[in-house]
Chain A
Amino acid sequence: MNLTIALARLLIFPGLLFAVPTAWFFLWVERKAVALMQQRIGPPFMQPFFDFIKLLGKTTPARSGVSGLLMKAWPLLAVSAAAGAVGLLPVLPLSGGFQGDLVLLLALMELPSICIIAAGFSSRSIFGEIGSAREAVLTVSYNVVFLLAVVSIAVSQHTFRLEALAQLPASPLRWLGVLAILVCLPAKLHINPFSLPNAEQEIYSGPMIEYAGPELAMWELSHGLEWVAAAGLVATLAVPHFAAGWIDSLLFVSLSFGIVLLLSVLAAATARLAIDTTARFYWRCALMFAGLAIASTLLMRLRA
């Protein structure tokens, strides 16, 4: 993958130019699905766009010193990491990629969570700090399962290259791994039942509490891009690529949409769990699931 193609993928397709409208669309689907589940009409189609533009036009409180600079830097870092993660997704077949880009994708998908933790502590608000602590506990809990599931898929297919993973046919083991990833996604995207870091009735907005204006707009955008990256990763792993490019892209987009719809409906149907229940859920139930996936993968490799 040379520099031009890499830049084109990061900035045009499936990177920023494609991903930002998709992120707004997914944010709208999230809110609209909740509204429909509650028998409301819900926000208009362009609502996330209106919110974003409005936030760009607001002033931000003046902050001085290193913590002020850091507070400006975290949302930008989160947005660029999430956009980079989307740029790595193999939407079109034969789109390039390199050995080990799955590892880079996982690292880039992890960066927004780390930025949220750091942002909460830089804001020096007590609610921000509680939110950050919760986010840290949540990250440690779900990531073990998430990474084990991804590794089990990669090991069963003998490659850490996304393009190759997308082309290989799906096996039952792979479905087990995809299921384990799906269980982790609500926690990764901070939606119900795992919306602990930004629990609005308990700790206001958690780590975001001191953010305003354009910085808050960047956080909203990074949340939307995380949706695109997470749904795209599952779509990549779940659907094998066929020959024709446009069918693949269509399948990819419709499956991503389906995942967003599924998770939004789950979010609307559930209430928030307490932090200890969440940690216990991931360490006891989901970890067994992921352990099963990786154990059977290793056994299959030994047998082969």
Chain B
Amino acid sequence: MGMKESEYWRWKEYNWKDEDADWKDFDIVTAGVDIGSVSSQAVIMGDNELFAYSNMRTGSDSPGSARKAMDWALKDTDMTLDDIRYVIGTGYGRVNVPFANKAITEIACHARGANWMYGPSIRTVLDMGGQDCKAIRCDERGKVTAFLMNDKCAAGTGRGMEVFADLLSVHIEDVGRLSFEIDEEPTPVSSTCVVFAKAEASQLLRQGWPKNKVIAAYSSAMAHRVFTLLERLGVEKEFAITGGIAKNEGVVKRIERELKIEALQTDYDTQIAGAVGGAVFGKTLVEKGKA
């Protein structure tokens, strides 16, 4: 799509479908479409069971990205958009999903989606995306009790990690593994600001630090920063991490270490939480007769 591969998270765009299910058996089919600044997901659910989804890169316009994500989710099904009873748009581009029946903020959708993915015991969700970081607390029904969102500053986001991966010429997906290939945990980089942290890292490299040690120093600084954000909100078990950074072990393990809590694991792709929440909201709205 014209963009250099190294500029973005290098995950592959893909779609998934439940091979054992026939959508015609469902009473209520709903969908959630989450348009983030870096990635977009469309999730189709039948009676709150996951039926099909896609995970794509966001293009230059939100409506186009929404259509592409939905096309890919539908691709291997014998279903069309008209077969979906209700569509919720969420994420940064939520008001620009042309076929959505309603837009709901990503915070509300994320909590609902995490509740579905991790079960009702989930109380705290940390979502670390390409350009933002959200911390959400919720009750046993997935209703938000407190939230905090940081999308002003690149520190603590995927973009901040990308800047480092570029500086060190390391593939983004290798960063997590390499951050553990060190003799001992170094002192974290002292600057929070990505620009200043980058200058600090350059200095460390010139002093002869191996790449992996620099990666470790930045990963723990990033983990600490996210930890302080979580502290502002208060963390209650169970706890889970979603979003792109959830795939970076180097940051995840260091956050767990600081929190002294292990994050719950899931077999689902952690990036679909927002879209799942949208589809779950859709079903509730249909049942309440609000759709």
Are A and B interaction partners? no
Residues of A at the B interface (CB closer than 8 Å) are none
